[in-house]
Every structure is written in structure tokens, then in C-alpha cells.
């Protein structure tokens, strides 16, 4: 039996399968997608040129922006050097691990190549986003001297560079590897060789997001505690020695970190969907595998149009203008999704309308996540106002109220995710209902993959909105520190307020997409294990029981239960380590700011300048040191669980047949010797429960931290006594607690969820 036949057996098919879409035009679709990706990079380059040609303001403004740029570039150089060393060590370990397993050295080399390409592309994506943002900030500040619309467009188009580069590199990276590895000739096997790409992207994203998050929040917390609470000076006051480090942190955390995060989301979703598409090759052919790449091309076109339709007036809320761009992008993405479904996922017995419905489910889910996040983090709604009201009685009640709101926030998103998974699964089954020989499970899982693709179909525009936040935040800081007119500051305040909203909304979007993508990758892991078992069994001349699959992971087995507990524990321990890292780093910043105030009384008097570089240096060293241990924990724990428990027995024998404990179908046997799946099952438990715990914790931290932040801003707007009141001091303390929640641990958990999935996917051969 050939590989196609074995794969058909894996997914419960009886060869031949009825309903094959046929056609050999997959290469046309792939080349079209790659051309769009290249054109998107050209568009990003043109946007960078346009940004760089814009006016850079006054010499005072340039002094501040240059300090921000130098600090951000210095941090990123040191950070990527550290990440590069870690990536090279893991590449060697990957090659050795694959070579000593049942896989061959050529396959090991392909996985390592895809791993390194994914890591390099992720690094480029993060660096490009930061490169443009630290140049767009001064141009946005300068444009704000003339008009609100000019500043809005400058900031959004600067952010669009990040979105275009991230999605285009994901498309070009995966598509080129697919071609290079012979995907058009061997479409069923090559997607499994691309798993390293997602792992490389995830690895860089974790360290970029974690290191950047530690940096930005250590500087922010230190600046707020000494500046606002102790010294009573405003935010972005030039007398605060930590203010430049704070502005640098916005770029390395929210631009470079989030760029790598969204790149990793699209990369992991691509590879996972392609693996599931390979399992349905008898139905759609190569077009089912290439569908996610084509949708990335649609994403790029729709997002670029959405960015260029955004414009506003002096009296309009800038958020309304950006929402219009989002609606245009969503509408175009939906039209493109329909065209791609009817053009690629067709066939005599396929019902594409149901499959299109999966994309609608994903897009609606993204809207729901944005709305839910807005409800819990915007000051015009009850959750934030309740925290602000609690500030009247002190920091303790503020923290109690904020934590309660944070614990409440996962409820509605979980319902939305559950509904999306159930609906898309049902739509997938209905769309392929008449196809004979494919299990309902395989049909439904592909439906959930389409929903994930639909949710990520606006990723480039969402990332442009996210990068808009730190650009406008920096622009406001530059305007204030260079003592520009109040009217100019009023414009940047409007943009900064919109930027705070977009950052909160995009974090909600990121965790929502991470949730769906994680389930997709979990399904891909199960498919990968089944393919590995089939490969080993057939090589040894054993037998594959008809209809056998690896979808029943029994939590009653001790190794699986222990793996599940370790997965949940990992989320809590990682979060603790990330928050402690911020605390330790912030303590160094607080001490340095106090020392500078004490050593140089002229700082507070305004007669001398603080040493900004000293704070930048302190935070850089602390963040790079603190990011290594939590990141290493995430990488090492699933590997340790899989390797340790692979030696436990998960099977038992009867007279002549080997059965898996707790399952009905027989386990494959190699020449009569049972295949031990204890390692793979325990890792599946870790991945499943770790994903659930990570999603819930990320929602708590993102929305809880955002609510604390906007409760402080609500008080600062004049409510409950306004600035310098006791309620304001209490709200600053609550915001300080929420800072590492929403900007360090929470965003890093998005990446952790997907890194767990990609690392188990790429190392699955070691666990069987």
C-alpha cells in the first residue's frame, strides 16, 4: 500500500475516496499567492520610504526620538544575539533527535532548515516592525503640528509596514519551503516537513515578546512609582530619568514583540492547516493544502486597502476612522474567502457554502473578541468604572475589584470560542457530508481550520492597529518632552487614547486567534502521531488496524493525567516567573531613579537633565537576563515529559491482539510487538490542558490589566477627584499591578500556547 493509501487508512477512509476535487492547477494558486506576498513587501518598502521622507520636526523633538531609536536598536541587537545562540543550539538538537529516531537524515535536515527559516523570518518581522515604528513616532509628532488626519495616517501607515511584512514573510517562507521541498510533487508528505517553521517562529516570538514585555513594564512601573506616586510629576515628564526607557519599551514590547507574536500565529496556523489539508488530499487535492497560503494573499490585499481608506477630521474620534478601515478590510477578506472556497475547495460532492460558513464563523468570532475586550477595558462600561470607584477607598479595594473583573473576563470569550469550534466542526461535516470514505472527525477538524483561517484573515490590518498604539504613545511623549503647544498635545492625546484602545483590542484578538490556532495545532499533532505510527509500522512490515486513529487520549491513564497537570502547572509557573522578572527589574529602575533625584537636585528643579542612558542600560541588561529561564522552561518541559513517559507502558495484551488501555480499536503492532504511545499520549495531555489553562490565564491577565489601566485614565480624566487625589494614587497602584499582567505575562502566554503546540508537533517522532 502506498503512502496515499496509508494516509487514507489513518483518517478512516476506504480507498478510493469518492468526491475528489482533482485538478493539477495547485502550482498556479501557489505562484499567485507568492507574487502577492512579494508585492506586499514592495508596498511595505514604499511605505517605509514615504515615512522616512516625512518631516522630522524640531531639533528638540529629534533629540528625544534619537534617544528612543538608539535604545530600542541596542536592546534588539543584544536580544536577537541571545535568541540566535539559543536557536542554533536547538537546531543541532533537532537534527540529532530526528536522525536517531525512525526518521531519516534528509528529513531531519529539512525540518532543521524549516526551523531556521521560521526563526529568521520571525526575527526579521519583529525587527522590521520596530525599525519603522521608531522612525514613524517622530514623523507622527511632527504631523500633529499641522493636522489630526495627517498624524493619524502617518502612524497607521507606519504600523501597516509591520502588518504587511509579518504576513508576507509568513506566506513567502512557508510557500517557498513547500516548493523547495517538492511539495507540488509530493503534497501529502511535505507539510509534515514544514513543522519546524512554526517551531522556529514560536521560539523567537516567545523570547521577543517575553524580553520586550519585561523591558517595557519594568521601565513603565519604575517610572510611574517614582515619578507619579512619589515625585508627583506627570507622565512623560522630561525630569523622570526612566521616561526614555519607558518610551523605548513601547517599541521593543508592543512592536517587535507583537510582530513576532502575530507572525508566529500565521505561521503556525499555516502549517497546521496544511497538515490537515494533506489528510484530506483525496478530497481537495493540493488546493486544500495551499488554501491557507492563498488566504494570506487575500489578507494582504484587503488590509492594504483598509489602511489607505482611513482618514479623519479634527473633531472626529480617531478610533471611528480606524474602525471603518477594519470594516472595509473584513468585508474584502470575506469576499476573498468566498472566492477562494468556491475556486479551490470544490468538487462533485463538496458543498462549498458550508465551508464558506466556517470562514464566516471565524470572522464573527474575531468581532466578538474585539467587542468583549472593549467592554471589559473601556472606561465607558461598568467593569472599568467599578474599579475606578473602588479606588476611592484605597489601593487594596482597587486591586480586589480589578482582580475580580479579571477573573470574570474569560467567561464570554470561552463561550465564543466554544460556539466557534462547535459550529465550524458541524459546518465542516456538512460541507463534506456526501463524500464517502472520510471520517466525520477529519471533515469537522478541517472546518475548524477554515474558521481559524477566517479569524486571521484581517491579521495584517489588526497588526497595523496594534503598532499604531506605541507609535502614537511615543509621539505624545516626544511632544510633551519637547514642550510643544497645548493644541498639538491635544491632538496626540486623541491619538494616544485611540492607541490604548487598539492595543487592548488587538490583545483580545491575539488571544482569540491563539485559542483557535491552538486547537488546530492540537489536531495537527494528533495527525502527526498517526502518520508517524503508520510510517514505523509499515517500515517494520507490521499491520495497521482498519480505521485506527489517535484521537482518543485517555485521561484516566496515569502518565496522561500527570502530563495534563504539568501542562496546567507550566502556565502558572511561567506567569509567576514573568511577573517576578518585571518586579525585580522594576526595583532596579526605581532605585536608580531615586538615586538620580537624590544625587542631582537640579533634575527636579529643571536646571539639569537626568541620565536617561543609565536607566536604559539597567533595563536592557535586566530584561535579557530575566527572559532566558522562563523561555527555557517552556521549551524543555514538554520534551522532558515526552521522553520520560515514552518508557511507561500504555498498552496491554490479550490472547492475540494488543489494545490501548481505555480505547476500543486495536493498537498497531510492529511484527507483533505493540507500539508504545505513552510518551505521545502524556504530551497530548500536557498540550490539551496547558492550552486550556493558558487561554484562560491570558484572558484574565490581558483584560484585567487593561481594565486597571483604563480605570486609572478614567480617574485622571477628572472623575473621583482627578489627578493627585487619593483615588488617583490608588488607581496608579492598581495600574502598576496590572502592567505586567497585560504587557508581559498575558501576551507571552499567547505565544506559550502556540509554542507548546509547535514544539510537540515538531518533536512528535521522539515520543513514539
| Model pLDDT for residues 573-588, shown as the tens digit of each residue | 999 988 888 888 888 8
Task: Please tell me the distance from the alpha carbon of residue 484 to that of residue 516, in angstroms, as a whole number.
Answer: 46
Its sign, for the CA torsion 478, 484, 486, 491, is: negative
Backbone angles phi, psi at 11, to 5 degrees: -95, 10
Please, are residues 362 and 457 in contact by the beta-carbon 8 Å criterion? yes
Which pLDDT score, from 0 to 100, does residue 423 have?
94
* pLDDT surpassing 50 at residue 609: yes
Which pLDDT score, from 0 to 100, does residue 105 have?
64
Residue 400 pLDDT level (bands cut at 50, 70, 90)? very high
Percent of the chain with pLDDT over 90: 17
Which pLDDT score, from 0 to 100, does residue 236 have?
65
Say how many residues make up the chain: 768
Would 10 be classed as within a structural domain? no
Which pLDDT score, from 0 to 100, does residue 722 have?
84
Task: Please tell me the distance from the alpha carbon of residue 54 to that of residue 436, in angstroms, as a whole number.
Answer: 60
Which pLDDT score, from 0 to 100, does residue 671 have?
53
Which pLDDT score, from 0 to 100, does residue 658 have?
46
* pLDDT surpassing 80 at residue 259: no
Grid cell listed for 157: 501607515
Query: Looking at residues 271-300, what average pLDDT do you find?
Result: 87
pLDDT digits (tens, 9 = 90+) for 37-81: 999 999 999 988 888 888 888 888 888 888 888 887 887 788 888
Would 9 be classed as within a structural domain? no
pLDDT digits (tens, 9 = 90+) for 470-524: 888 888 888 887 878 888 888 888 887 777 777 777 777 777 777 777 777 777 7
Tell me which residue range forms the domain holding 704: 18-767
In sequence order, the 6+-apart residues with CB closer than 8 A to the CB of 631 are 86, 206, 207, 210
Which region among 14-18, 275-279, 412-416, 634-638 has the lowest average model confidence (pLDDT)? 14-18
pLDDT digits (tens, 9 = 90+) for 134-168: 888 888 988 888 888 888 989 898 888 888 998 99
Q: Please indicate whether residue 550 or residue 749 has the higher confidence score (pLDDT).
A: 749
In sequence order, the 6+-apart residues with CB closer than 8 A to the CB of 589 are 218, 219, 221, 222, 223, 242, 245, 615, 618, 619
In sequence order, the 6+-apart residues with CB closer than 8 A to the CB of 12 are 438, 439, 441, 442, 547, 549
Q: Please indicate whether residue 298 or residue 649 has the higher confidence score (pLDDT).
A: 298
Would 6 be classed as within a structural domain? no
Grid cell listed for 759: 514544539
Which pLDDT score, from 0 to 100, does residue 20 have?
44
* pLDDT surpassing 50 at residue 651: no
Q: What share of the chain is helix, strand, coil (3-state, %, to 5)?
A: 80, 0, 20
Which pLDDT score, from 0 to 100, does residue 101 have?
60
In sequence order, the 6+-apart residues with CB closer than 8 A to the CB of 708 are 387, 398, 402, 731, 734, 735, 737, 738, 741, 742
* pLDDT surpassing 90 at residue 426: yes
Q: Are strands 673-674 and 669-670 parallel, antiparallel or unpaired?
A: antiparallel
* pLDDT surpassing 60 at residue 766: yes
Which pLDDT score, from 0 to 100, does residue 673 have?
55
What is the widest separation between alpha-carbon atoms in the chain?
Answer: 91
pLDDT digits (tens, 9 = 90+) for 178-225: 988 887 888 888 887 887 888 888 788 777 777 777 887 787 777 777
pLDDT digits (tens, 9 = 90+) for 526-542: 877 877 777 777 777 76
Can you tell me which residue has the cell 496515569? 558
Q: Please indicate whether residue 192 or residue 637 has the higher confidence score (pLDDT).
A: 637
Query: Looking at residues 739-765, what average pLDDT do you find?
Result: 81
Q: How far is CA 518 from the centre of its chain?
A: 11
Which pLDDT score, from 0 to 100, does residue 757 have?
80
Q: What is the DSSP string of 318-350?
A: HHHHHHHHHHHHHHHHHHHHHHHHHHHS--TT-
Please, are residues 714 and 590 in contact by the beta-carbon 8 Å criterion? no
Closest by CA position to 373, among listed 362, 383, 387: 383
Query: Looking at residues 81-89, what average pLDDT do you find?
Result: 85
In sequence order, the 6+-apart residues with CB closer than 8 A to the CB of 40 are 164, 165, 167, 168, 171, 300, 304
| H or E, element range at 459 | helix 459-481
pLDDT digits (tens, 9 = 90+) for 440-478: 888 888 898 899 888 888 888 988 888 888 888 888 888
Grid cell listed for 126: 519583529
Query: Looking at residues 663-683, what average pLDDT do you find?
Result: 66
pTM assigned to the model: 0.81
Burial of 87 (0-12, 13-18, 19+ CB in 10 A): buried
Grid cell listed for 7: 494516509
| Three state DSSP letters for 632-675 | HHHHHHHHHHHHHHCCCCCEEECCCCEEECCCCCECCEECCEEC
| Number of domains the chain contains | 1
Q: Please indicate whether residue 114 or residue 264 has the higher confidence score (pLDDT).
A: 114
* pLDDT surpassing 70 at residue 619: yes
In sequence order, the 6+-apart residues with CB closer than 8 A to the CB of 171 are 33, 34, 36, 37, 40, 270, 293, 296, 297, 300
Which pLDDT score, from 0 to 100, does residue 5 have?
34
Closest by CA position to 705, among listed 386, 228, 377: 377
228 HSE (CA, 13 A, CB side): 25
Please, are residues 404 and 422 in contact by the beta-carbon 8 Å criterion? no
User: What mean pLDDT is reported for the chain?
Assistant: 81
Grid cell listed for 657: 491482539
* pLDDT surpassing 50 at residue 653: no
Which residues are bridge partners to 735 per DSSP? none
Task: Please tell me the distance from the alpha carbon of residue 276 to that of residue 353, in angstroms, as a whole number.
Answer: 20
Alpha carbon of 97 to those of 24, 194, 546, 676: distances in Å?
36, 16, 30, 18
Would 226 be classed as within a structural domain? yes
Can you tell me which residue has the cell 474558521? 451
In sequence order, the 6+-apart residues with CB closer than 8 A to the CB of 139 are 51, 54, 55, 56, 57, 154, 158
Please, are residues 281 and 187 in contact by the beta-carbon 8 Å criterion? yes
Please, are residues 660 and 529 in contact by the beta-carbon 8 Å criterion? no
Closest by CA position to 115, among listed 94, 97, 86: 94
Grid cell listed for 380: 465607558
Cα Rg, the chain, nearest whole Å: 26
Task: Please tell me the distance from the alpha carbon of residue 700 to that of residue 722, in angstroms, as a whole number.
Answer: 27
Task: Please tell me the distance from the alpha carbon of residue 62 to that of residue 83, in angstroms, as a whole number.
Answer: 31
Grid cell listed for 724: 493627585
Q: How far is CA 362 from the centre of its chain?
A: 16
Would 127 be classed as within a structural domain? yes
Burial of 519 (0-12, 13-18, 19+ CB in 10 A): buried
Task: Please tell me the distance from the alpha carbon of residue 624 to that of residue 369, in angstroms, as a whole number.
Answer: 32
Grid cell listed for 514: 491563539
Amino acid at each position: 500500500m502506498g503512502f496515499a493509501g496509508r494516509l487514507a487508512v489513518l483518517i478512516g477512509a476506504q480507498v478510493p475516496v469518492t468526491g475528489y476535487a482533482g485538478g493539477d492547477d495547485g502550482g498556479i494558486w501557489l505562484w499567485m499567492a507568492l507574487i502577492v506576498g512579494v508585492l506586499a513587501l514592495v508596498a511595505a518598502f514604499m511605505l517605509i520610504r514615504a515615512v522616512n521622507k516625512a518631516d522630522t520636526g524640531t531639533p528638540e523633538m529629534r533629540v528625544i526620538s534619537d534617544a528612543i531609536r538608539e535604545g530600542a536598536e541596542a536592546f534588539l541587537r543584544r536580544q536577537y544575539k541571545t535568541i540566535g545562540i539559543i536557536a542554533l543550539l536547538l537546531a543541532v538538537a533537532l537534527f540529532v533527535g530526528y536522525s536517531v529516531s525512525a526518521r531519516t537524515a534528509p528529513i531531519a535536515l529539512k525540518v532543521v532548515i524549516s526551523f531556521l527559516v521560521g526563526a529568521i523570518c520571525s526575527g526579521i518581522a519583529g525587527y522590521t516592525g520596530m525599525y519603522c515604528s521608531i522612525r514613524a513616532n517622530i514623523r507622527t509628532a511632527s504631523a500633529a503640528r499641522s493636522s489630526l488626519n495627517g498624524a493619524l495616517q502617518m502612524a497607521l501607515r507606519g504600523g501597516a509596514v509591520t502588518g504587511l511584512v509579518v504576513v508576507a514573510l509568513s506566506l513567502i517562507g512557508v510557500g517557498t519551503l513547500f516548493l523547495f521541498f517538492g511539495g507540488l510533487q509530493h503534497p501529502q508528505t511535505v507539510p509534515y516537513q514544514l513543522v519546524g517553521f512554526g517551531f522556529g517562529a514560536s521560539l523567537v516570538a516567545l523570547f521577543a515578546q517575553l524580553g520586550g514585555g519585561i523591558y517595557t513594564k519594568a521601565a513603565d512601573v519604575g517610572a510611574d512609582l517614582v515619578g507619579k506616586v512619589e515625585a508627583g510629576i506627570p507622565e512623560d515628564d522630561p525630569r523622570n530619568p526612566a521616561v526614555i526607557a519607558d518610551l523605548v519599551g513601547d517599541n521593543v514590547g508592543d512592536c517587535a514583540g507583537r510582530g513576532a507574536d502575530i507572525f508566529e500565529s500565521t505561521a503556525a496556523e499555516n502549517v497546521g492547516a496544511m497538515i490537515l489539508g494533506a489528510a484530506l488530499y483525496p478530497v481537495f487535492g493540493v488546493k486544500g493544502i495551499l488554501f491557507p497560503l492563498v488566504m494570506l494573499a487575500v489578507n494582504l490585499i484587503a488590509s492594504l486597502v483598509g489602511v489607505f481608506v482611513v482618514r479623519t477630521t479634527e473633531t472626529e474620534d480617531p478610533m471611528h476612522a480606524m474602525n471603518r478601515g477594519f470594516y472595509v478590510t473584513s468585508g474584502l477578506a470575506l469576499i476573498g474567502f468566498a472566492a477562494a472556497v468556491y475556486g479551490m475547495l470544490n468538487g462533485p460532492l463538496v458543498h462549498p457554502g458550508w465551508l464558506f460558513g466556517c470562514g464566516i464563523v471565524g470572522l464573527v468570532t474575531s468581532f466578538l473578541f474585539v467587542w468583549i475586550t472593549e467592554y471589559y477595558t473601556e472606561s465607558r462600561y461598568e467593569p472599568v468604572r467599578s474599579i475606578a470607584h473602588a479606588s476611592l477607598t484605597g489601593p487594596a479595594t482597587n486591586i480586589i475589584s480589578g482582580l475580580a473583573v479579571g477573573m470574570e473576563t474569560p467567561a464570554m470569550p470561552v463561550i465564543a470560542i466554544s460556539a466557534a469550534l462547535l459550529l465550524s466542526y458541524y459546518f465542516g461535516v456538512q460541507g463534506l457530508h456526501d463524500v464517502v470514505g472520510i471520517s466525520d472527525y477529519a471533515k469537522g477538524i478541517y472546518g475548524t481550520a477554515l474558521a481559524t483561517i477566517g479569524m486571521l484573515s484581517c491579521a495584517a490590518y489588526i497588526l497595523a492597529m496594534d503598532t499604531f498604539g506605541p507609535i502614537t504613545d511615543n509621539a505624545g511623549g516626544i511632544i510633551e518632552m519637547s514642550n510643544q503647544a497645548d493644541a498639538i498635545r491635544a491632538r496626540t492625546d486623541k491619538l494616544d487614547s485611540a492607541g490604548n484602545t487598539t492595543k487592548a483590542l488587538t490583545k483580545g484578538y491575539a488571544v482569540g486567534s491563539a485559542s483557535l490556532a491552538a486547537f488546530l495545532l492540537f489536531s495537527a499533532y494528533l495527525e502527526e502521531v498517526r502518520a508517524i505510527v503508520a510510517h514505523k509500522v509499515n517500515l517494520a512490515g507490521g499491520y495497521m488496524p482498519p480505521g485506527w486513529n489517535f484521537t482518543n487520549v485517555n485521561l484516566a491513564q496515569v502518565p496522561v493525567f500527570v502530563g495534563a497537570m504539568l501542562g496546567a502547572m507550566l502556565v502558572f509557573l511561567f506567569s509567576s516567573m514573568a511577573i517576578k522578572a518585571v518586579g525585580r527589574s522594576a526595583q532596579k529602575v526605581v532605585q536608580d531613579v531615586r538615586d538620580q533625584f537624590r544625587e542631582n537636585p537640579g533634575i527636579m528643579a529643571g536646571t539639569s537633565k537626568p541620565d536617561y542612558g543609565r536607566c536604559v542600560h539597567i533595563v536592557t541588561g535586566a530584561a535579557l537576563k530575566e527572559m532566558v529561564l522562563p523561555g527555557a522552561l517552556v521549551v524543555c518541559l514538554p520534551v522532558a515529559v515526552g521522553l520520560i513517559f515514552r518508557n511507561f507502558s500504555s498498552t496491554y495484551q490479550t490472547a492475540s491482539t494488543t489494545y490501548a488501555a481505555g480505547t476500543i480499536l486495536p493498537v498497531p503492532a510492529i511484527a507483533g510487538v505493540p507500539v508504545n504511545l505513552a510518551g505521545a499520549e502524556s504530551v497530548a495531555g500536557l498540550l490539551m490542558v496547558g492550552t486550556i489553562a493558558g487561554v484562560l490565564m491570558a484572558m484574565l491577565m490581558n483584560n484585567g490589566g487593561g481594565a486597571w489601566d483604563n480605570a486609572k485614565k478614567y480617574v485622571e480624566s477628572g472623575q473621583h477627584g482627578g489627578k493627585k487625589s487619593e483615588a488617583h494614587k490608588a488607581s496608579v497602584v492598581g495600574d502598576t499591578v496590572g502592567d505586567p499582567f497585560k504587557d508581559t505575562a498575558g501576551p507571552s502566554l499567547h505565544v506559550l500556547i502556540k509554542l507548546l503546540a509547535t514544539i510537540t508537533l515538531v518533536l512528535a517522532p521522539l515520543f513514539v
